[in-house]
Amino acid sequence: MNLNDISYQIRGSVFEVYNILGPGLLENIYAQALLIELNNRGLKVENQVPIEVLYKGVNLGIQYRLDFLINDQVILELKSVDTLLPVHYKQLITYLKIAKKPLGFLINFNTDSIKDNIIRVANDIHHPDLQ
């Protein structure tokens, strides 16, 4: 399955969860529902995936956890907040770089318009700092 196919399935899953549950719930509720929906669509889904942080080749001994990793390629960062802030975008961009993944989605379920709150972020994995 290529990235466009995966993206299509992710977006469909998000819409399905949002249409059934609506806005205003806690993030962990959306996460559990989305896990079910993504699995039902045949995607390989890992949640709360630890990623190690390296600095100049040295493991800092600190791990971040990705909300979801889909088909070993796409990171999903879920929110249920009034407004997405610049720090939310920066967090996803940093996760993409650290994990060396090509694509991520920032998704805010606490909204009146889910289609405007599914933000697709691409990572330039060929950047020299990531080699």
What is the pLDDT, as a whole number, of residue 69?
98
What is the pLDDT, as a whole number, of residue 125?
64
User: For 119, phi and psi rounded to 5 degrees?
Assistant: -100, 120
What is the pLDDT, as a whole number, of residue 129?
42
The total domain count for the chain is 1
Range of the domain at 83: 3-130
Which residues of the chain carry a pLDDT beneath 50? Answer: 127-131
For residue 17 the two structure tokens come to 């969860």
For residue 45 the two structure tokens come to 């889904």
